[in-house]
Amino acid sequence: MGSVTRKPLIAGNWKMNLDHLQAVAFVQKLHWTLKDAGHEHDTVEVAVFPPFTDIRTVQTLIDADKIPFALGGQDLSTKDSGAYTGEISGAFLKKLDAGYVIIGHSERREYHHESDADVAAKVQAALRHDLVPVICVGETLEQREESGPTAVSVEQLKVALEGVPADADVVVAYEPVWAIGTGQVASPEQAQEVCSALRAVVAASLGDEAAARTRILYGGSVKSGNIASFMREPDVDGALVGGASLIAEEFAAIVRYQKHVGV
Ligand code: 13P
């Protein structure tokens, strides 16, 4: 399960930031910053996860200007259509060329009381619509102190992968809750320890082949100054970036982590 060819993925979770007009300016700026720097998109994949109300606009821009960014939603409904006020179907995301959808972010688990079972149902909904679920797991500080660094994430991922076929394309994001938006970043060794345990869960649930090709991201206070140290770890295949994904130059520098000294 060592280093196979997993294309690194740098994903920007905008959360509830940037309206659709700001999104246009931001995506253009990010595109030109990367282009000017000579970024080769076949080396590192870039994905943006705007708010729902921006997605149509961002899709149009990406399409018109041939911008090689993947697009994703920040959540989706467990249902496909019907009387579910306020919900967004995976079918709608797919229609807008979204390739990915974030599922089970800790902010949704905390503020919207999403359970592991809800997360599992959303993973199934994503797969029904041919979207790659970015399954987020991670422990709070209290949970880490109580049950160690890996137990919570391992259990969350086990449930999320129940019923997922072995050939399904999924992405896993390890985001320790205590490192999100706090500036208190996990160490590369801490990230590696959990990401490696998560790869073992993928192996047990979906098989060795799936474990070898599934990308596992780290998220939590990722910046241009620390990304390279995470990417050196064998089981970290990219990053899910919050705050730093809203600043074009900073996010571009994260995408271009291979250019940083020592990598
Ligand atoms: P920050 O990068 O702002 O810590 O957020 C991480 C995150 O939650 C990405 O989904």
pTM: 0.96
What's residue 4's pLDDT? Answer: 65
In angstroms, what is the span from residue 232 Cα to ligand 1's centroid? 20
How far is the C-alpha of 251 from the C-alpha of 10, rounded, in Å? 9
Of 45, 105, 107, 233, the active-site residue reads: 105
* Cβ atoms of 205 and 164 closer than 8 Å: yes
pLDDT of residue 1: 45
Distances (CA, A) of 204 to 6, 98, 148, 161, 200: 19, 29, 20, 10, 6
Residue pLDDT tens, the chain, 263 long: 445 689 999 999 999 999 999 999 999 999 999 999 999 888 999 999 999 999 999 999 999 999 999 999 999 999 999 999 999 999 999 999 999 999 999 999 999 999 999 999 999 999 999 999 999 999 999 999 999 999 999 999 999 999 999 999 999 999 999 998 888 889 999 999 999 999 999 999 999 999 999 999 999 999 999 999 999 999 999 999 999 999 999 999 999 999 864 44
Q: Walk me through the domains of the chain, giving residue ranges and CATH numbers.
A: 9-261 (3.20.20.70)
Tell me, what's the pLDDT at 41? Answer: 85
Rounded Cα distance between 1 and 212, Å, is: 5
pLDDT for 260 equals: 66
What pLDDT score was predicted for residue 5? 86
Q: How far is the CA of 185 from the centre of ligand 1 (A)?
A: 10
The one catalytic residue in 45, 175, 193, 233 is: 175
Task: Give the number of other Cβ atoms within 10 Å of residue 130's Cβ.
Answer: 12
For this structure, is 112 an active site residue?
Answer: no
Q: Which long-range contacts (CB under 8 A, 24 or more apart) does 18-25 make?
A: 18/50, 18/51, 18/54, 18/246, 19/51, 19/53, 19/54, 20/53, 20/54, 20/56, 20/57, 20/58, 23/50, 23/54, 23/57, 23/58, 24/57, 24/58, 24/61
Atom of ligand 1 nearest to the CA of 102: 10
